Amino acid sequence: MNVEATPDLPGAIRSAFSAPEIADWLRARERLRGAGYGRTVPRAYERSSLALAPKLGAAPTIALAKLVSHVAIRVSPRAAERVCTAAGTVAQRYEPQEFTAWLALMTRITTQAPESVYPFLDNMERLVGRLSEQALEDWVATGLRLAGRDADKRSAYFSLQTAEAQRALEHESGEQSFYDHERRLRAYLTAISGATPPLRVAPTGMGEKAARRVSFAGNVILVPPSLPGYRGETEPLFRAALAHIGAHINFTKTRFEIGQLKPLQMAVVSLIEDARVEELAAQEMPGLRRLWQGFHVAQPGGLPTAPSLFARLARALIEPDFDDPDGWVQKGRRMFMEARERWADPAISREIGNLLGNDLGQLRVQFNAKDYVVQPAYRDDNLGLWALDEPPPEEAQTLEVQVDTVQLRRSEPTPGAGKQSQQQEQTESDRVEKVAPVTEAAEEGRAVASYPEYDYEIGRERANWTVVKEYPATPGNRRFWQELQDAQGPLLSRITGLVRSAQIGRARREKRQAEGEVLDLDACIEAATALRAGEFPDHRLYERQAPPTRDLAVSLLLDISQSTADLVPGTQHRILDMERDATAVLAHAMNEIGDPFAINAFCSAGREDVRVVAVKRFSDALDEETGSALSGLKPGYSTRLGAALRHAGKDLAQVPRHRRLLLLITDGEPSDIDSPDPDYLVRDAQRAVRSLSALGIDVFCVGLGPRNKEQEAAIFGRNGFIQIDELSTLPDKLLSLYLRLTR
């Protein structure tokens, strides 16, 4: 291509690129012109090239053309134009190498989540303003992993309309937010208020005005992820905010009627009410005053605007030594202190606030209610103090509970899901176990723990990514143990005898013996010392080896996913029936010899519903209830293995034993409804096994039926699993395995 003969070559391109680079750019432009996208896409690319070329150079600028074409094909020409616009924003923040990585990231989103390209581009300026290129890549990976095959969830995430998106954004930006302290803050609120009010993260999605202060309606508290206008440690700030809300819950029993009040008067009444409830709370808990005072930093002087006067009066009301010469501030403090005997009556807030508001009106102090943000940052936005047009507190609480319940349930496909999402779901359905209900009227589980999950694409664990819920055991056969004894009596006796004879535990050295195999060095030294002192020495100078004591704890973890409902070839028994009977035989033997053990069954319906049934805890007896729970297990759902291993391992780690063994019995590979990537849960399970090994817990897998041995070896190690093809031999082989593992 003759570069010199190109009359329409822009000067910026001619000056920034070499001749070969100009030729490559011209070819890229011509491909866009001839691709049938119309005139607007090539022109958008040319304009973007002129801006990018001087800063980025040739390679990223030319590579942008390939992305533009890809977006135009997979999404729309209009989206391709917006990519060109967004590229300019990204180039201002990122270096050429980072910009090239951004192009690859955009290609990934266009391929895997085309419906999310528009919302992602809409938020590009905000995202690149807070995130490095690597952090942005991790944020995107989190969204794709979170939503899985659900196009609606992906779109909501990239629109920043979900709490998960906000939480991930805060985490990747390295800024501390409410999410970093959520568990401790919830406990703190309960301790301060003496109640457990619902605590929610305020929505900050696109199209919604971001919350700038904590708010409450009835007993429902909304907390923004961060509080603008404050720099410093965030946990004390959130503690102060929740303590302030707790004071309102305890002492603001009714909301104020607006009546004829103007916005300025409402703001002053709210300020006085804030001071009133804080005084009452500080009388009961004096330490709260010190907590709150640390955030009052307003100083006298300066332009007497309404916000500055409000902040100065707030400090004057909580800090007696604060000296402010302003007459309005002094009057407000005097009126408040003179009403000390009536602080228990919220009517004084309206009385004092009315008078002070009128004074400000006469002083012609300007007040813009739309831009007003309460100071200090820990105080609420005052909306909960007023009888506004909103649902009554009872309705608000009911709504919050309903929202919680819906979020905790497994997401179902929506009628409005797009064709593309449905096609993708069908294409990948062979990778994920079919989900079937365990019972016709499934009970709600109780969330008992959250665990991290490892994402190999970003090379780290996402904290609190999975939620384990404990479900009540379905009652089964209460005569289970008796029927097992009748059917398997000889086998149970033989197994008990074999296990009793097993040498399990550490050999013990008994010191200070009258006779033995070797001398006890400590006893010999003491005897020599006694002889030199003229004393008669102790004659017990030997030590000997005592038989080992049993020092083992076992956690049996049973996979009860839907595939365990399949029949064992050549029999009328389900795989779950074989798992149950083998577990019962081994449990009977361990119970006879006194080894502590627990039995848990698990399946999963997404990362927020890893279902665990505690058949037997370590503290439970092997009794009729345990037998009923074991026989009542029913198959269903999928196999999120990593979370189940972490949960069982957490309980096992608390048992004071020398050997701790987690024995998994499963018939399937790790999978779940929200994880189309077949390697993701395998790598997470591998990570969970290694984490448990670091805690001194041995994990061993008993694989039932045909298995992927390479995958099993990757998860559990070459010597960490056994494959059993003949399921009818499971009880005997499980016993042999147990004896081998516990020697």
Confidence (pLDDT) at 6: 56
Mean pLDDT across the stretch 492-514? 68
- What pLDDT score does 433 carry? 39
pLDDT number for residue 737: 72
DSSP H or E run through 521: helix 521-532
d(CA 684, CA 453): 6
Residues 458-470 have a mean pLDDT of 89
Which residues are within 8 A (CB) of 92 and not within 5 positions of it... i.e. 6 or more apart? none
405 Rama sector, left if φ>0, alpha if ψ -120 to 50, beta otherwise: alpha
Q: How far is Cα 465 from Cα 456, in angstroms, rounded to an integer?
A: 14
Identify the sign of the CA torsion 158, 160, 163, 164. Answer: positive
632 in Cβ contact with 475 (< 8 Å): yes
Least confident of 235-249, 275-289, 432-446, 644-658: 432-446
- Edge-to-edge strand order for the sheet containing 446-455? 446-455, 460-470, 610-616, 597-604, 552-559, 659-666, 698-704, 721-724
Pair type for strands 215-217 and 199-201: unpaired
Identify the pLDDT of residue 508.
64
DSSP helix/strand/coil, 238:
helix
Per-residue pLDDT averaged across 634-639, rounded? 94
**pLDDT (0 to 100) of residue 211:** 66
- pTM summary value: 0.62
pLDDT in tens, 702-742: 888 776 778 888 899 888 888 887 766 676 677 667 666 66
* Residues contacting residue 100 through CB under 8 Å, at least 6 positions apart: 59, 60, 63
Domains and CATH numbers, the chain: 11-172 (no CATH), 179-385 (no CATH), 480-502+550-741 (3.40.50.410), 508-546 (no CATH)
Task: Quote the radius of gyration of the chain (alpha carbons, Å).
Answer: 34
Return d(Cα 99, Cα 64) in angstroms, integer.
10
Q: How many other CB atoms are there within 10 angstroms of residue 533's CB atom?
A: 8
CA geometry: angle 458, 460, 464, nearest 5 deg: 115
CA dist 654 → 468, 555, 614, 679 (Å) = 18, 12, 16, 31
- The sheet that has 220-223: what strands, in order across it? 199-201, 220-223, 215-217
Q: Which helix or strand (DSSP H or E) is residue 665 part of?
A: strand 659-666
pLDDT at 651 over 90: yes
Q: Is the pLDDT of residue 399 over 60?
A: no
When pLDDT is cut at 50, 70 and 90, the band that residue 184 belongs to is confident
The two structure tokens encoding residue 196: 């457990």
Neighbours of 676 (CB within 10 A): 20
What crossing angle do the helices spanning 40-56 and 19-33 adopt, rounded to 10°?
160
The pLDDT tens digits of the residues spanning 142-165 come to: 999 888 888 999 999 999 888 788
> Which residue, 684, 677, 726, 673, is CA-closest to 702?
726
For 555, the 3-state DSSP assignment is strand
Question: Does residue 612 have a pLDDT over 90?
Answer: yes
590 Cβ partners below 8 Å, 6+ apart?
Answer: 499, 554, 597
State which H helix or E strand residue 116 sits in. none
Predicted local confidence at residue 396, as pLDDT: 37
* Cα–Cα distance, 730 to 183 (Å, whole number): 43
Provide the H-helix boundaries in 533-664: 575-593, 624-631, 641-653
- The three-state secondary structure class of 461 is strand
CA dihedral 411, 414, 420, 423 (to 10 degrees): 70
In degrees rounded to 5, what are phi and psi of residue 626?
A: -65, -45
3-state class of 388 per DSSP? coil
d(CA 380, CA 383): 8
Instruction: Look up residue 178 and give its DSSP letter.
Output: G
Phi and psi based region of residue 301 (left: phi greater than 0; alpha: psi -120 to 50; beta: remaining): left
DSSP string, 499-511: HHHS--S--EEEE
At 314 the three-state DSSP class reads: helix
Q: What value does the mean pLDDT of the chain take? A: 82
- Lowest-pLDDT choice from 19-23, 257-261, 591-595: 591-595
pLDDT average, residue stretch 103-117:
95
Residue among 96, 164, 166 at smallest CA distance from 127: 166
Q: Before 77, cis peptide (omega within 30)?
A: no
Rounded (10°) angle between helices 96-112 and 40-56: 150
Give the pLDDT band (50/70/90) at residue 115.
very high
Distance CA 219, CA 249 (A): 7
- 630 vs 232, which has greater pLDDT? 630
pLDDT at position 442, please?
46
Residue 547: per-residue pLDDT: 61
* Helical axes 234-251 vs 182-193, angle rounded to 10°: 30
Share of the chain above pLDDT 90, in %: 39
> Which of 270-273's residues contact partners 24+ apart within 8 Å by CB, and which partners?
270/349, 270/353, 270/374, 270/382, 270/385, 270/386, 271/310, 271/313, 271/314, 271/353, 272/317, 272/332, 272/336, 272/348, 272/349, 272/352, 272/353, 272/356, 273/346, 273/349, 273/353, 273/385
Return the higher-pLDDT residue of 641 and 228: 641
Nearest CA-CA partner of 578 in 727, 475, 712:
727
Find the distance separating the first CA and the last CA of the chain, reported in whole Å: 78
Element (H, E) at 230: none
- Overall average pLDDT of the 380-403 stretch: 56
pLDDT of the residue at 374? 87
User: Which are the contacts of 714, defined by CB distance < 8 A and separation ≥ 6?
Assistant: 682, 686
Nearest in space to 40 (alpha carbons), one of 83, 86, 77, 88:
77
For 56, list phi and psi in degrees, rounded to 5.
Answer: -95, -25
- Residue 170 DSSP SS3: helix
Burial pattern 105-133, b for ≥16 Cβ within 10 A else e, equals: bbbebbeebbbbbbbbbbbbeebbebbeb
DSSP 8-class letter at 442:
P
Q: Which amino acid is at 31?
A: R
> Partners of 542 in the beta sheet?
513, 519
- For residue 610, give the H/E element and its range: strand 610-616
